[in-house]
Amino acid sequence: MMFEIKRDNVAGFIAKNWDAYSLESEKSDTWRKVAGKKDELALLDKFWLSRFGDGVLDPPIKCSLAYLAGALPRCFRSEHPITRRLYLSALKNMLVWPLQSLSPKAEFDTLIEAGIVMPQDRKSFPELFYSFDGKIFNANIRRYAAQFMVISSNARFDSPFSACEIGGGYGGFAELFCMNQKNLDNYYIIDLFETLAISMTYLAKQNPGGRRLFFVEKKGDLKGFQEKDCIVFIPASLAEEVLEARDVRLFVNSSSIMEMAKPVIERYFRIIQSYGGVYFYNYNSITRMENGELMAYDDLPYDSGWMPVFDRTINIPGMVSNIRETIRYRK
């Protein structure tokens, strides 16, 4: 039986299992510099503070003096120069906050009019979100909503299906997808345990759609799994376990596959390509230097069974590389 994650047991479960799982994590060059530390476990409720600018969360829009004071030592001790740039951006955001919320409110209204359901307002995360009409909104949610609209406009699911996200970040995309995809059954998240700790903490607190949360602890846990309307967390070391969930019709990766070493990428493609009748939504940099090697989107190991459904290039100001956003379908 899998372990059921709940609001009141998630912290204890993570603390108990942290050392065992973190030892077997597949650390890329990027992850090695930002890998979790056990002494940060108490900060998981404030994941944006314990991971400021280090890739788990986009820079927040609204900032306070307390937020900036807490983030300052982590920011300037980081080995990533980008964290200092993001910190200065956050400082600017705080200073211009009274005017800055005007543009996001217009974007929020546009997405609401398009039918996107936004997460409920949460008083426990005041630095992270704007609050509009009893709902929350920030740069992450705006991107997740746009990604959801691309998927829902280009991938057809005529019957209940499950989705699998490889690299779930803090759990924000899973939350928005579960709230907006009416035909969704289970949602599987595969990630390193350190990042799963953050997404488990966040989703256990928010509980999107009243879904039950489960953690795959060992090989064979998913075999015969009959529960519906769940979010299932799978550590990267047990990624192949998702093959037991034959109802998966959509795989998602956003901004992380290009950070993986080539053998890890090949492993995930073997998993995905064992399925037929499956979509793969892929949102990643066109090129990236990782583990001392230039990674290229065009070199990802798609086999000949894929058919292109959607393809575009996105230029994001300040990014070193453009973003490629594609959906492919495998018969």
Q: Which two structure tokens, joined as six digits, stand for 210?
A: 């009243």
pTM of the full structure: 0.87
CATH superfamily of 141-330: Vaccinia Virus protein VP39 (3.40.50.150)
Q: Would you put residue 207 in left (φ > 0), alpha (ψ -120 to 50) or beta?
A: left
The 3-state DSSP class for residue 230 equals strand
Q: Kindly give the confidence (pLDDT) of every residue in the chain, 331 residues in length, as a single tens digit, with 9 standing for 90 and above.
A: 799 999 999 999 999 998 888 756 655 555 555 555 676 676 676 665 554 444 444 555 556 677 677 767 767 776 666 567 667 766 776 777 666 667 888 999 999 999 999 998 876 666 667 888 999 888 889 999 999 999 999 999 989 999 999 999 889 999 999 999 999 999 999 998 988 998 999 899 887 778 999 999 999 999 989 999 999 999 999 999 999 998 999 999 998 999 888 999 999 999 999 999 999 999 999 998 877 788 899 999 999 999 999 999 998 766 668 999 999 999 9
User: Residue 33 to residues 27, 124, 221: CA-CA distances in angstroms?
Assistant: 9, 29, 32
Q: Are 157 and 249 in contact (CB under 8 A)?
A: yes
